[in-house]
Amino acid sequence: MTYTRADFQTDQEVRWCPGCGDYTILASVQTFMAEMGLPKEKIVFISGIGCSSRFPYYMNTYGMHTIHGRAPAIASGLAASRPDLSVWVVTGDGDALSIGGNHLIHALRRNFNIKILLFNNQIYGLTKGQYSPTSELGKRTKSTPFGSIDYPFNPISLALGSEATFVARTVDMDRTHTQQMLEAAYRHRGAAFIEIYQNCNVFNDKAFIQITGKEERLHNRIDLREGEPIVFDGGAKAVVFRDGRCEVVETSSVDPKEILVHDPTREDPTIAFALSRLSHGPFGPTPLGIFRKVIRPTYEEQINRQLLEAQSRFGPGDLDKLIKSHGTWQVSG
Amino acid sequence: MSDETATIESPTREIDKVVIRLAGDSGDGMQLAGARFTDASALFGNDLATLPNFPAEIRAPAGTLPGVSSFQVQIADFDILTAGDEPDCLVAMNPAALRANIGDLRPGGTLIVNEDAFDERNLAKAGYDSNPLEDGSLQGYRVIRVPMERLTKEAVKDTGVSGRDVLRSKNFFALGLLAWLFHRPEAPVIEWVEKRFADKPEIKEANIRAFRAGFTYGQATEAIKVTYVVPPATLPPGTYTNVTGNTALAWGLIAAAQCAKLPLFYGSYPITPASDILHELSRHKNFGVRTFQAEDEIAAVGAAIGAAFGGSLAVTGTSGPGLALKSEAISLAVMTELPLVVVDVQRAGPSTGMPTKTEQADLLFAMFGRHGEAPLPVLAVASPSDAFGMAIEAARIALRYMTPVLLLSDNYIANGSEPWRLPKVEELPDISVPFASKPNSPDGRFLPYLRDLHTFARPWAVPGTPGLEHRIGGLEKEAVTGNVSYDPANHQLMVDTRAWKIRNIANDIPPVEVEGDEDAELLVLGWGSTLGSIRAAVRRVRSDGEKVATAHLRHLNPFPANLEDLLERYPRVLIPELNTGQLRWLIQAEFLKRCDGLNKVTGQPFRVAEVEEKIREILKEAR
């Protein structure tokens, strides 16, 4: 199947604010989908509520724009009953981490073969500017005129704590990196969680400037590459794992052998978690890339196995036998 | 034992019906013993109805009143409709069980007590100042004192069970005694024990020995001079099984999926008294049933909506508190017009209420418990075996009209059982609907909200179908295209259309049937689990030559098309309900017809006598 990006565009007018990072992500996803060549009738986008959740309307695939926070639950039912489909969830920091937190963690631990794209802009956009579960402490918003006192989530730490088998982070502005993460998530068999830093230029502009700014990103963006030592800032800085935690050090100050070599396939999530703790928001050196990528049977595979086993053990379902299975007696006329 | 006047010389009396209640601690195995007695009676050919009654606590403090669990069964040689108003025979395993149940025992009834449990400690726990077995307070009953614990211990020694397990077999001792007293066949009980405890040989042996010891004790004791036999009932010919409402509902859903030629998906979160539907369905994976125990009630309905989008027969099941949580998602199913069956096994509320007691108080919530204008069909199961057919009916309506359907059951139906004349599987209806397979617009586009002209249903196009890619969602839809629309006139049109689609179902459901006198002064109108009590009461009144009619609603939204005419035909209408008047409220609002109510919210079903009394009262007024 050969597609172009246009095959994935719908006739609906895209209605995000001009300059919104969602446009960039939409373009990345459409381009990626065209390149993957998966039949588009096999693809389903499911979203909750929020700016990002308008996404399915703009993807010429199957899609459902559902209710606040529940997209992972709805996707779970679809995936469980239709393992042949490629199911994608589009959600935001309010949708996934506040009202829908429960569904997110359970979808991840069950390891449905669904791909969850969390657009994190650290603000409520659609309701016009309240703080979100990823907003930094002290943030002044419409609902926190004296500053937020809510300690924020670290979405990567949360996903790892939820037993996710694939956890990655990318940023809207870097389309190449976004597409690489999408492809890795797609190729992963199981639940994939991608946090996408997404700029809300109306209510939280430049929240990710430390990662996206031309000057700033040089110093702060840590690219995680499988099999490579983790160094950044033009090689000046490195990440080491000491005393159970990751630390940023001057590369020149350590034995090169001490520099952490990135391996997302480690069964034990300790180091992935430690990497996620390098930053608690995009305010300084922050890793992008795949934190964890391990193989565990998917929910769909297991449910199918149980169905097949039951059929081979008990034969295909016989309704007449079933309703007589508790013992019967005859009444004759 | 309705026939106390039979000859005393005869060691066995034939009686037409008997109501038996077993009562003990919630850990005493009364539900199990009751269920075994019921099954043995069913296989013997009696008509029967059961009423389990147990505390919400799994093991409430032993020996106390809140810990008492009971199981009542009525068996008869004719077509009965309820588990009986008052027991003829009560088995009390301890003082608390006696105290909690003796008030219900028919004057002159038989009381079998486990006298070993009547020590000072247990008497005090039950709040007795003196031992009722000694103080003459039980004079009005035929009391049979049995040292059940001592005899059970004796019976199970050398089986290998020890410690606390020894006395756990005493329910089988009681069951053995009842089996002898009422001439129940032993084989079904023995066979069940052998199968159930196949991998626990000591317990199997202990239970069988205790059962036989109870039976033998009956033969040997001088305390019981007469035994009773209830001959098989003359029911319509056919193959019968004994079934509880939850089991019948689960089997009905499996049948519905077969009738619809679709895979069944059941999303649920454990909740009393609906959990047994999940348990039963999860056992039948060879039917292709996918069960999903979700993280919460919202996820359970959400997953079902996802499965519906994917082309499954999607069902979610819960009880009142869970239905409240599902409300927002059900509105999404209304808006997206996806087929979904929502089962609410009602229990006494509000809030946690009395989770193991019955009530019919979710009707108005089922009707209106959604935001916005969100009508949907509401159906109600009338008895345990009725749940099978109603599950198929709910699925039929959901699929044909592309709508969520609420199917109401309740605790009494869910845990109660009755004989069920099995349907012929090959005669079950075909309820399948075709998926959309090609574009439905001349220009080659797929229009997800282009409706069927008869049913007003939109097409069901499932992912995986090339060329029909489309998006649905909670935002208002433009008619025909399904695109997001804020157009005022379109919203009016869509609200009206969704309402009309549901109202139109009235033309596709069976008319409500009347039993009784066409020219009666009074119609007794019911719904749900009150069927048995109402029918039995009406029959009693009619057998005295009074004129009265009764009708029972299984479709509550929309109402059957003939209901309005029916209501006009009868000057008086009585609506007995286990709530404060919810169907009455609906009927009065819809038809502007003043109705009388008989309302009770004690967590217990109606006694036939209560309904009978109210009917007689109204007939008297009318004269």
* CA atoms of B19 and B5, how far apart (whole Å): 17
Specify if B608 maps to a domain.
yes
DSSP A247-265: EEEEGGGS-GGGBPBP-TT
Q: Is B469 on the interface with A (CB under 8 A)?
A: yes
Interface mutation target, options A323, A324, A325, chain B, most CBs of B under 10 Å:
A323
* CA atoms of B582 and B363, how far apart (whole Å): 7
Q: Smallest CA–CA separation between A311 and chain B, in Å?
A: 4
Q: CA-based Rg of chain B, rounded to a whole angstrom? A: 27
User: Residue A80 and residue B303: Cβ atoms within 8 Å?
Assistant: yes
A130 neighbors A143 (Cβ within 8 angstroms): yes
Task: Please indicate, yes or no, whether residues B47 and B179 belong to a single structural domain of this protein.
Answer: yes
Chain B residues 26-85 with CB within 8 Å of chain A: 39, 42-45
Q: Is B325 on the interface with A (CB under 8 A)?
A: no
In chain B, residues with a C-beta closer than 8 Å to the C-beta of A43 are 463
DSSP code, position A267: S
Q: Which of B561, B587, B586 is nearest to B572 (CA)?
A: B587
Q: Smallest CA–CA separation between A98 and chain B, in Å?
A: 15
B229 neighbors B6 (Cβ within 8 angstroms): no
Domain that holds residue B393: 241-427
Per-residue confidence (pLDDT) for residue B387, from 0 to 100: 98
In this prediction, what percent of chain A has a pLDDT beyond 90? 97
Given B394, B410, B427, which residue is the final one in a domain? Answer: B427
Q: Smallest CA–CA separation between A82 and chain B, in Å?
A: 6
DSSP B191-253: HHHHHHTTT-HHHHHHHHHHHHHHHHHHHH-SS---EEE-PPP-PPSEEEEEEEHHHHHHHHH
- Please list, in sequence order, all residues whose beta carbon lies within 8 angstroms of the beta carbon of residue B492, skipping any fewer than 6 positions away: none
Task: Please indicate, yes or no, whether residues B22 and B170 belong to a single structural domain of this protein.
Answer: yes
* CA atoms of A69 and A95, how far apart (whole Å): 5
Q: Please name every residue paired with B315 in a beta bridge, in sequence order, or none if there are none.
A: B266, B341
Given B379, B400, B427, which residue is the final one in a domain? Answer: B427
List the A237-242 sheet strands across, edge first: A231-232, A237-242, A245-250
Specify if B464 maps to a domain.
no
B348 neighbors B529 (Cβ within 8 angstroms): no
Q: CA-based Rg of chain A, rounded to a whole angstrom? A: 23
B374 neighbors B334 (Cβ within 8 angstroms): yes
Specify if B506 maps to a domain.
no
B398 neighbors B339 (Cβ within 8 angstroms): yes
In chain A, residues with a C-beta closer than 8 Å to the C-beta of B45 are 329, 331
Find, in chain B, the residue whose alpha carbon is nearest to that of A333.
B237
- Please list, in sequence order, all residues whose beta carbon lies within 8 angstroms of the beta carbon of residue B134, skipping any fewer than 6 positions away: none
Q: Smallest CA–CA separation between B384 and chain A, in Å?
A: 14
Please tell me the total count of domains within chain B.
3
A93 neighbors A74 (Cβ within 8 angstroms): no
Q: Which of B39, B49, B45 is nearest to B18 (CA)?
A: B49
Please tell me which of the candidates B298, B307, B463 has its beta carbon nearest to residue A62: B463
Q: Smallest CA–CA separation between A235 and chain B, in Å?
A: 45
User: At how many degrees (to 10) do helices B275-282 and B245-260 cross?
Assistant: 50
In chain A, residues with a C-beta closer than 8 Å to the C-beta of B336 are 64
Given B229, B254, B283, which residue is the final one in a domain? Answer: B229
In chain B, residues with a C-beta closer than 8 Å to the C-beta of A309 are 285
Question: Cα dihedral angle (B352, B355, B358, B359), rounded to 10 degrees?
Answer: 10
Q: Smallest CA–CA separation between A200 and chain B, in Å?
A: 23
* CA atoms of A309 and B410, how far apart (whole Å): 34
Residue reference for tokens 């024990």: B193
Task: Please indicate, yes or no, whether residues B110 and B211 belong to a single structural domain of this protein.
Answer: yes
Interface mutation target, options A15, A74, A321, chain B, most CBs of B under 10 Å:
A74
B302 neighbors B329 (Cβ within 8 angstroms): yes
* CA atoms of B405 and B378, how far apart (whole Å): 6
CATH code for the domain in which residue B22 is found: 3.40.920.10
Q: Smallest CA–CA separation between B550 and chain A, in Å?
A: 28
A260 neighbors A241 (Cβ within 8 angstroms): yes
- Please list, in sequence order, all residues whose beta carbon lies within 8 angstroms of the beta carbon of residue A187, skipping any fewer than 6 positions away: none
Specify if B453 maps to a domain.
no
* CA atoms of B11 and B3, how far apart (whole Å): 14
- Residue B313: CB atoms within 10 Å: 30
Quick one: which H or E segment has residue B189? helix B187-196
Interface mutation target, options A64, A91, A112, chain B, most CBs of B under 10 Å:
A64
Inform me whether the pLDDT recorded for A300 exceeds 80. Answer: yes
**Phi, psi angle pair for B241, to nearest 5°:** -135, 165
User: Residue B473 and residue A60: Cβ atoms within 8 Å?
Assistant: no
Per-residue confidence (pLDDT) for residue A333, from 0 to 100: 67
Specify if B447 maps to a domain.
no
b/e per residue, A53-66, with b = 16+ CB within 10 A?
A: bbbbbbbbbbbbbb
**What sections of B297-385 are H helices per DSSP?**
297-309, 320-336, 363-368
Q: Which of B358, B360, B357, B378 is nearest to B369 (CA)?
A: B378
* CA atoms of B415 and A329, how far apart (whole Å): 21
* CA atoms of B149 and B167, how far apart (whole Å): 6
In chain A, residues with a C-beta closer than 8 Å to the C-beta of B311 are 81-82
Tokens found for residue B18: 């008997």
User: Residue A81 and residue B307: Cβ atoms within 8 Å?
Assistant: yes
Chain B residues 403-462 with CB within 8 Å of chain A: 421-423, 425
Inform me whether the pLDDT recorded for A18 exceeds 50. Answer: yes
* CA atoms of B435 and A41, how far apart (whole Å): 15
Specify if B115 maps to a domain.
yes
In chain B, residues with a C-beta closer than 8 Å to the C-beta of A326 are 39, 241-243, 247
Task: Please indicate, yes or no, whether residues B152 and B205 belong to a single structural domain of this protein.
Answer: yes
The dihedral through the CA atoms of A225, A231, A234, A235 has a sign that is negative
Interface mutation target, options B48, B246, B284, B285, chain A, most CBs of A under 10 Å:
B285
Per-residue confidence (pLDDT) for residue B6, from 0 to 100: 35
Q: Smallest CA–CA separation between A178 and chain B, in Å?
A: 24
CATH code for the domain in which residue B615 is found: 3.40.50.920
Cα distance from N-terminal residue to C-terminal residue, chain A: 65
* CA atoms of A70 and A102, how far apart (whole Å): 9
Per-residue confidence (pLDDT) for residue B56, from 0 to 100: 82
Task: Please indicate, yes or no, whether residues B27 and B67 belong to a single structural domain of this protein.
Answer: yes
User: Residue A324 and residue B422: Cβ atoms within 8 Å?
Assistant: yes
The half-sphere exposure of B261 on its side-chain side, counting CA atoms within 13 A, is: 7
Tokens found for residue A33: 């989908």
Cβ burial of A301 (10 Å; 0-12, 13-18, 19+) is: middle
* CA atoms of A76 and A239, how far apart (whole Å): 37
Residue type (1 letter), B57: E
Specify if B496 maps to a domain.
no
Inform me whether the pLDDT recorded for A310 exceeds 50. Answer: yes
Task: Please indicate, yes or no, whether residues B189 and B311 belong to a single structural domain of this protein.
Answer: no
Residue type (1 letter), A61: T
Per-residue confidence (pLDDT) for residue B2, from 0 to 100: 44
Q: Which of A200, A225, A283 is nearest to A25 (CA)?
A: A200
* CA atoms of B609 and B84, how far apart (whole Å): 10
Specify if B472 maps to a domain.
no
A18 neighbors A65 (Cβ within 8 angstroms): no
Task: Please indicate, yes or no, whether residues B216 and B254 belong to a single structural domain of this protein.
Answer: no
Please tell me which of the candidates A66, A82, A331 has its beta carbon nearest to residue B240: A331
Task: Please indicate, yes or no, whether residues B155 and B251 belong to a single structural domain of this protein.
Answer: no
User: Residue A67 and residue B247: Cβ atoms within 8 Å?
Assistant: no
Reduced to 3 DSSP states, what percent helix, strand and coil does chain A have, rounded to the nearest 5? 35, 25, 40
Per-residue confidence (pLDDT) for residue B10, from 0 to 100: 37
**What sections of chain A are H helices per DSSP?**
21-36, 71-81, 93-94, 101-110, 155-161, 175-187, 209-212, 216-220, 270-276, 299-314, 319-323
User: Residue B242 and residue A316: Cβ atoms within 8 Å?
Assistant: no
Q: Which of A213, A310, A227, A286 is nearest to A261 (CA)?
A: A227
Question: Cα dihedral angle (B149, B151, B155, B158), rounded to 10 degrees?
Answer: 70
* CA atoms of A70 and B377, how far apart (whole Å): 24
Long-range contacts of B447-452 (CB under 8 A, 24+ apart): B447/B480, B447/B481, B447/B482, B448/B472, B448/B481, B448/B482, B449/B337, B449/B477, B449/B478, B449/B479, B449/B480, B449/B481, B449/B482, B450/B480, B451/B497, B451/B501
Task: Please indicate, yes or no, whether residues B10 and B139 belong to a single structural domain of this protein.
Answer: yes
Task: Please indicate, yes or no, whether residues B214 and B264 belong to a single structural domain of this protein.
Answer: no
User: Residue B43 and residue A42: Cβ atoms within 8 Å?
Assistant: no
User: Residue A328 and residue B470: Cβ atoms within 8 Å?
Assistant: no
Tokens found for residue A153: 């989530």
User: Residue A310 and residue B285: Cβ atoms within 8 Å?
Assistant: yes
Task: Please indicate, yes or no, whether residues B388 and B534 belong to a single structural domain of this protein.
Answer: no
CATH code for the domain in which residue B337 is found: 3.40.50.970
Task: Please indicate, yes or no, whether residues B225 and B264 belong to a single structural domain of this protein.
Answer: no
**Digit-coded pLDDT (tens) for B428-450:** 999 999 999 999 999 999 999 99
Q: How many CB pairs under 8 A join A and B?
A: 213
Is beta strand B378-380 parallel, antiparallel or unpaired with respect to B555-557? antiparallel
Per-residue confidence (pLDDT) for residue B270, from 0 to 100: 98
Residues of chain B with pLDDT under 70: 1-10
* pTM attached to this predicted model: 0.94
Per-residue confidence (pLDDT) for residue B8, from 0 to 100: 34
